[in-house]
Amino acid sequence: MRLKRVALTISRMPKRSFSRLGAVLLPVVSAAVTAALVVSALGQPSAAPAPESDSTSVKVDGVETLTNIESVAYTQALASAKAKKPKVTVIGTGGTISGVATSRSSFQNYRSGQIAIGDMVGYLQPEIGAVADVSTVQFGNKGSGGYTIPEFHALTLAVEKALKSSDGVVVTTGTDTMEEFAYWLDLSVRSQKPVVLTGAMRPWAAVSPDGPKVIGADGPANLYNAIVLAASQATYCYGAVLMLGDEFHAARDVTKTSSYRMDTFQTREFGVLGWIDGSNIKVGRAPARIQECDDKSKWYTPFNLNKLGPEALPGSRW
């Protein structure tokens, strides 16, 4: 019909106009007629087939793994998270995430360890309640640099106690020594269930613990995502992982690179383990110990703090 209208319009134009426009319109009309003939002969074009992916992709309840994890226990853990609402225990130790700033726009002037972990998890309700049944333990509430070796020992036992009844544990702490907290738990926790450490680069509230949120505070999102990650079982058999800024890293590889930037934690040589985008979790790689997931005797580290008291540890008198 469009071609007919064009032809009719041209036929009614004065000869001088036709001669001027003929050189311009003729190639366009010819191309259109040719295209129409091709479509008529071949039929409507179909969508190009999606390219095949070289990665092994497994999706279970919002978890996508782009690495080939050949483990029965890992697969069962992912399936269990889909079959029932997981239980997650959040253990609070303080840090910037529980800090109170002098004003809503103060990112560096604040006191850490001012807000109870139960209040922070309560702020995430009711949304987090749709993800998991969350309980809290207030282990401590101070800066991460203030913990001793005996307290680290007690934290391991607290995590293992929580994992006896929960499907995963989240530990909140300060970022100054978060990588040390994570590596300690990676070495000493003997449960294969997810252990996720998180915190914040900006304090939670301003003026008072129940005051307004600091502008751009990253704590609420980090805590929410850490619970989502632990509940998903995506890091089952990974050992301890560190989650900040929508990314999670292996405790053995991650390091803090800046005292101010929100994306301070990086794994320079190997890259992040994966990403959390809303309810979707994408796992890009797995730590080496996942290969022993089906054999606990090989998966365990040599450290069993249930049999080793804090007094036997180096630095226990510090």
Q: Which of 124, 127, 80 is nearest to 231 (CA)?
A: 80
96 is catalytic: yes
CA dist., res. 311 & res. 218, Å (int): 37
Cβ–Cβ under 8 Å, residues 254 and 242: yes
| Strand ranges of the sheet holding 274-277, from the earlier edge strand across to the other edge | 58-60, 63-65, 280-283, 274-277, 247-250, 240-244, 195-198, 168-172, 87-92, 133-138
Q: Are 315 and 149 in contact (CB under 8 A)?
A: yes
- Give Cα 116 distance to the centre of its chain: 23
Residue type, 215: I
Among candidate residues 65, 93, 96, 136, the one labeled active-site is 96
- Ordered alpha helix ranges (H), 43-104: 72-83
Q: Is 144 annotated as a binding residue?
A: yes
Alpha carbon distance 283, 228 (integer Å)? 14
Which residue's entry shows tokens 């005051």? 211
Neighbours of 185 (CB within 10 A): 23
Distance in angstroms (rounded) separating the CA atoms of residues 188 and 191:
9
What is residue 152's three-state secondary structure?
Answer: helix
31: number of Cβ within 10 Å: 10
Residues with catalytic annotation? 96
Q: Which residues are annotated as a binding site?
A: 144, 175-176
Q: Which residues are annotated as a binding site for substrate?
A: 144, 175-176
